[in-house]
A and B are shown apart, each in its own frame.
Chain A
Amino acid sequence: MTTFTTTTPGVDRRGLRGLLPRGARAITSTSIWGAVLLVVLLVPVLQLPPIFSAALLLTIIYIPAAVGQNLIIGNAGLLAMGQAAFVGVGAYTAGILAVRFEVDGSIAILAAVLLSAGVGALVGIPALRISGDYLFIVSLGFNLIVMDVARNWVDVTGGATGLTGIPTLTLFGMDMGVGQTFYFSVLVMVLVSLVVVQAITSSRFGLTMEAIRDDEAAAIASGIRPAGPKVQFFAIGSALAGLSGALLAYNLGYVGSGSFDVSDSLLIFQMAVIGGLGRITGSILGAFIIILLPELLRPLQDYRLLLAGLVIVILMILRPEGILGKAKITNLIKK
């Protein structure tokens, strides 16, 4: 997820635009962002059927988790999954704070993000010593453990029945309700998170992370210490998942142990991979494809996972970096 700071205009870029004929390449990253923004801003105005707007809200809520996954796999090159576990950590944190301690949404969400970041960092440290192939199974195993904890720590999490009665989101004392105000609050928070991510990935820090991913030995020879950025990106990716979790808790009013399963992790993983590794816009696209598209095509609902699997298999053959992903990235990830 870097923006090449170009000094030479018209330089050939990678990604989807590389497939377009010359004239169409004038479509830049900015226009994709612009189009998406336009759509999400207009939607409440258009008075679309509630099912659609609910699906759109859910998509937007999951974008940070997908972006976080992309940061970990795409930018840091660490094949770690199990994002749903951190979504769960965020959801339960926000939910518990909101229900039991009646804390303002701003604090609950912040706490969710920080706790997810912390757990992510803790998990990231042993992950340094576990190489690519194994890391992804271990991370999914971790997912299972978190699920078990959620199911069994009844006093805290409500066990299998879950945490109910989460109030509507209050931000700095103001109740955001469940309609348009809630939608816009979510949108703003997600956009802010995306701006932060963009700031990170386009910075020297982000570039250094990509260098470590591309060739760790060369990075070390250049004086870069790989451990720090890896753990930090783990934490950032998990923090984003925590944000999604907190927003999810407020959206549903309820947090149950069944929503953060391995299959949910795999879905988030697919959003990142299908949409395109290495680019934020990819994860946004991925979220839309995985969550919103099946909503629009109602009959496909039941087959959503099946189709996602098929898309992945075909995509890996034809375009392994994903729709908007960075070229050749999949040849570099894996130790």
Chain B
Amino acid sequence: MEQAVAVQAPHALGVRGLVLKYGGVTALAGVDLVVPSGAVVGLIGPNGSGKSSFINVVSGAYRGPYSGEVAIDGRDVRSVPAYSRADAGLSRIFQGIRLFDTLSVEQNILLGAHSRYRSGYLASVLRTRRARAERDEQRQRARAIMATFGDRLLPRADDQVMSLSYANRRRVEIARALMPEPRLLLLDEPMAGMNPHETEELTDHLLDLNRTAGTSMLLVEHKMGVISDLCSDVYVLDSGTVIAHGTAAEVQADDSVIEAFLG
């Protein structure tokens, strides 16, 4: 599957021959998946298909052995621990929203930029000139990102995120994930728990994001409507293998896909 293009941005995510086994179970049996730079790619599959395992390998949460290649922004991340993957260009949001609950909206978002700071902890305590300059720079970026959500987040910048609505909490999580200008944004069921109106709003937001900033995304979702609206390319996973790959329309019409979901 060599691409014969010389001068092109590396794939946001390139997975080749990923095999994952543990406890006698083969969670992933040779998965090939590519998120081209600037694309939004979907990953769907019934429960137990291996989606979570896949995400855990890509995010680094899974620390065990696996075979195959996993490359983010063209760089193999096998030896990159989970806390360094943000540096490698990966940002993610979690199934079930994980925020820093006792902190404010702004503080949550600022923390997303952690990997971008050159000045260290000591500098931040001593409030050196460079630390202060970086802080101001990141605060400006945070405000800019919050502004893209209209009046949802900015007026609530100092509120504890705990007090926010579910949809707003999701928006904060996305804003936080965007702070380090990620090469790959991994979205794990971002629309779960949202009503149709909120889903539509968030879908538009993500489309906009992809169009203007060119942010590459891997979207794991159950709502096919969202997948069709957002994804140029869809992979279908079942029992650890990719059983279909194509556009949303193609994949939806595929017999083996229908059977996997219904059977």
The reply, when asked whether chain A contacts chain B directly with Cβ atoms under 8 A, is yes
Residues of A with Cβ closer than 8 Å to B?
2, 4, 6-8, 11-12, 14, 199-200, 203-208, 210-211, 214-215, 217-226, 228-229, 232, 278, 326-329, 331-332
Is the CB–CB distance between A204 and B117 below 8 Å?
yes
CA distance A7 to B127 in the complex (A): 19
A89 to B82, CA, bound (A): 37
Would you give the 0/1 interface string for B79-119, flagging 1 where the beta carbon is closer than 8 Å to chain A?
00011111100011010001111111001001110110100
Once the chains bind, are B100 and A11 in contact (CB under 8 Å)?
no
Contact among A8, A278, A327 with B158 in the assembled complex (CB-CB below 8 Å): A8
Contact partner, A208, options B102, B114, B162, Cβ 8 Å: B114
CB-CB nearest in chain A for B116: A223
B159 contacts across to A, CB distance below 8 A: 11-12
Bound complex: CA A326 to CA B82 (Å): 29
> Are B99 and A218 closer than 8 Å at their CB atoms?
yes
Q: Please judge, given known A-B contacts A217-B94, A229-B121, whether A222 and B103 are in contact too, CB under 8 Å.
A: no
In the A-B complex, list the 6 residue pairs whose CB atoms are closest, starting with the nearest.
A223-B86, A223-B115, A204-B124, A218-B98, A214-B100, A205-B121
A222 touches B94 (CB 8 A): no
Given A203-B125, A204-B131, A207-B111: A328 in contact with B158 (beta carbons within 8 A): no
The size class of the interface chain B forms with chain A is: 35 or more
B61 within 8 A of A: yes
* B29 sits at the interface (CB 8 A): no
**Nearest Cβ distance between residue A192 and chain B, in whole angstroms?**
15
Q: B135 contacts the other chain (Cβ, under 8 Å)?
A: yes
Determine the residue in chain B with the shortest Cβ distance to A212.
B100
Query: B121 touching A218 by the CB < 8 A rule?
Result: no
**In the assembled complex, B216 has its CB within 8 A of some CB on chain A:** no
A121 nearest CB across to chain B (Å): 15
Nearest CB of chain A from residue B103's CB, rounded to whole Å: 6
B157 interface residue per 8 A CB criterion:
yes
Chain A residue numbers with a CB within 8 Å of B157 are 7-8
Across the interface, which residues of A come within 8 angstroms of B98, CB to CB? 215, 217-218, 221
CB-CB < 8 A to A208: which residues of B?
A: 111, 114, 121
Residue in A200, A222, A278 whose CB lies within 8 Å of B115 = A222
24 contacts between A and B (CB under 8 A): A8-B155, A12-B159, A204-B124, A205-B122, A207-B107, A208-B111, A208-B114, A208-B121, A210-B102, A214-B103, A215-B100, A215-B101, A217-B98, A218-B94, A220-B82, A221-B85, A221-B92, A222-B112, A222-B180, A223-B87, A223-B180, A228-B121, A327-B102, A331-B101
Chain B contacts to A: CB under 8 angstroms: 59, 61, 82-87, 91-92, 94, 98-104, 107, 110-112, 114-115, 117, 121-122, 124-125, 127, 131, 135, 155, 157-160, 162, 176, 180
Q: Are A203 and B124 in contact (CB under 8 A)?
A: yes
B103 and A203: CB pair below 8 A? no
- CB-CB under 8 A from B122, the residues of chain A are 205
Q: Give the CA-CA distance A207 to B139 in the complex, in Å.
A: 14
Which residue of chain B lies nearest to A331 when distances are taken between CB atoms in the complex? B101
List B contacts of A223 (CB < 8 A). 83-87, 114-115, 180
- Tell me, in angstroms, the Cα distance from A226 to B83 when the chains sit together: 8
Return the contact of A7 from the options B85, B87, B92, B158 (Cβ within 8 A).
B158
- Considering the complex, give the chain A residue whose CB is closest to the CB of B59: A221
A226 — nearest CB in chain B belongs to which residue? B83
B82 adjacent to A328 (CB under 8 Å): no
The reply to whether B86 and A222 form a contact with Cβ atoms under 8 Å apart is yes
Q: B86 to A204, Cβ gap below 8 A?
A: no
Residues of chain A within 8 A of B155, CB atoms compared: 8
Most buried by A among B87, B99, B124: B124
CA distance A199 to B131 in the complex (A): 14
How far apart sit A2 and B100, CA to CA, in the bound complex (Å)? 14
Separation of A8 and B154 alpha carbons in the complex (Å): 10
Nearest CB on A from B59, distance (A): 7
On whether the beta carbons of B125 and A205 are closer than 8 Å, the reply is: yes
Contacts of A215 in B (CB 8 A): 98-101
A328 touches B121 (CB 8 A): no
A221-B91 contact in complex given A11-B158, A208-B121, C-beta closer than 8 Å: yes
A225 to B82, CA, bound (A): 9
Q: List chain B residues, Cβ under 8 A from A14.
A: 160
Contacts of B82 in A (CB 8 A): 220-221
> Are B100 and A210 neighbours in the complex by a CB distance under 8 Å?
yes
* Bound Cα distance A117, B135 (Å): 29
Inter-chain CA distance A218–B85, complex, in Å, is 12
Q: CB distance B112 to A217 under 8 Å? A: no
Chain A residues within an 8 Å CB radius of B135? 204
Q: Which residue of A lies closest to B179 (CB)?
A: A222
B169 → chain A, closest Cβ, in Å? 12
Residue of A nearest to B97 (CB): A218
B102: which of A200, A220, A278 is its contact (CB, 8 Å)?
A278
Residue of A nearest to B112 (CB): A222
The distance from the CB of B147 to the nearest CB of chain A, in whole angstroms, is 14
| A326, B104: Cα distance in complex, Å | 12
Contact of A221 with B121 at beta-carbon distance under 8 Å, contacts A215-B98, A215-B101 already known: no
Residues of B within 8 A of A2 (CB): 103, 107
> Which of B100, B114, B122 has the largest count of A CB atoms less than 10 A from its CB?
B100
Name the one of B84, B100, B158 contacting A218, with C-beta atoms under 8 angstroms.
B100
Q: How far is the CB of A129 from chain B (nearest CB, A)?
A: 14
